[in-house]
Amino acid sequence: MEKNRQIILVSRPPQQGWLSEENFRLVEAPLPQPREGEILVRNHWLSLDPYMRGRMNEARSYALPQPLGEVMLGGTAGEVIVSKHPGFKPGDQVVGRLGWQEYALSEGAGLRKVNADSATPLSAYLSVLGMPGVTAWIGLFDICQPQAGQTVVVTAAAGAVGSVVGQLAKLRGCRVVGVAGGVDKCRYVVEELGFDACLDYKVGALWPALKAATPERIDCLFENVGGEIFDTLLGRMNAHARIALCGMIAQYNSAPYPLRNLSSLLVNRIRLQGFIVTELTERWPVALADLGEHVAAGRLKYRESVVEGLAQAPAALIGLLRGENFGKQLVRLV
């Protein structure tokens, strides 16, 4: 009898410390059987995302903590293999949040049917045509609202979100500067994605490179990182700049960094907006439609880091939080 492999959370990392593979456990459960009104989905792809670190804490946040002893939450893309639901049939491709497991039952709520093909593979619906892409779109257009000719800076520029932010901003006619860790990522961001410049925070001081790359300062900051990099960028903002605060990955596993340039928010009359894309449901359709057009026209490139097999997911999440991934971090559920 076939088994369903799952990863559950068995312990929490320190509030401000690093997670470890021991926080997770791979278990096997019987293959679940759908009842009337349910479908059984075979997950082919699991999405790994920085927000997962926050859910591992017990602290109050925008969402409930991931419960101990239960299957880790997470976005998935897969295929319906048994359906007792009138809205689905075997073979339907579905994207949803079915967790760190190979199979899952669903009543269909929260599932999105998609049509992958050779030009747009199923995994793309977890990156440029999924949550990361919509995050980029909403943060850039609804919050940052850049005008053509303005300077947009995006951190974690080679990541699933940052890479889309920068390309969308280029399409809008902006000067786009990325911040990323390492020569390879920076070369990719400039040469493949078409950013005007990329600052490698792993080599030397960020400030002189930032000044050189932003001769007219920063009008829009799409912030994924926080900490010292955020502080440096705060020192380079223009009057009436906008900041889309999407993530603070530098702080998820460590103590807060003391910001020296916080007064820039006041001096430059900055509007900063924290946002969580999953609750901005009314903007998803327009964002996905626009992203879909760009992808179909070949105007949006994306890249994936893929690990093979559910057992690799914990190590891959740790790598993601260390910035080791390149583009969208995925687990192929073989």
Give the binding site for its own copies (CB under 8 A): 54, 61-62, 226, 239, 245-248, 251, 256-263, 265-276, 279
List, in sequence order, every beta strand (DSSP E) within the chain. 3-9, 24-30, 39-47, 76-83, 93-96, 103-106, 112-114, 151-155, 175-180, 197-200, 218-223, 237-245, 271-274, 304-308, 328-332
Nearer to its own copies, 90 or 274 (CB): 274
Q: How far is the CB of 208 from its own copies (least distance, A)?
A: 17
Q: How far is the CB of 270 from its own copies (least distance, A)?
A: 5
The full DSSP string for 96-109 is: E---SBSEEEE-ST
Nearer to its own copies, 243 or 316 (CB): 243
Nearer to its own copies, 62 or 207 (CB): 62
Please check whether residue 78 is in contact with residue 43, taking contact to mean a CB–CB distance below 8 angstroms: yes
Q: How far is the CB of 53 from its own copies (least distance, A)?
A: 11
Nearer to its own copies, 202 or 211 (CB): 211
Q: How far is the CB of 189 from its own copies (least distance, A)?
A: 24
Q: How far is the CB of 275 from its own copies (least distance, A)?
A: 5
Nearer to its own copies, 204 or 274 (CB): 274
Q: How far is the CB of 287 from its own copies (least distance, A)?
A: 17
Question: Which residues on neighbouring strands pair with residue 332, listed in sequence order?
Answer: 45, 308
- 218-223 and 237-245: which strand pairing? parallel
| Helix H or strand E segment including 55 | helix 51-55
Six token digits for residue 297:
């026209």
The full DSSP string for 168-190 is: HHHHTT-EEEEEESSHHHHHIII
Nearer to its own copies, 115 or 281 (CB): 281
Phi, then psi, of 230 in degrees rounded to 5: -60, -45
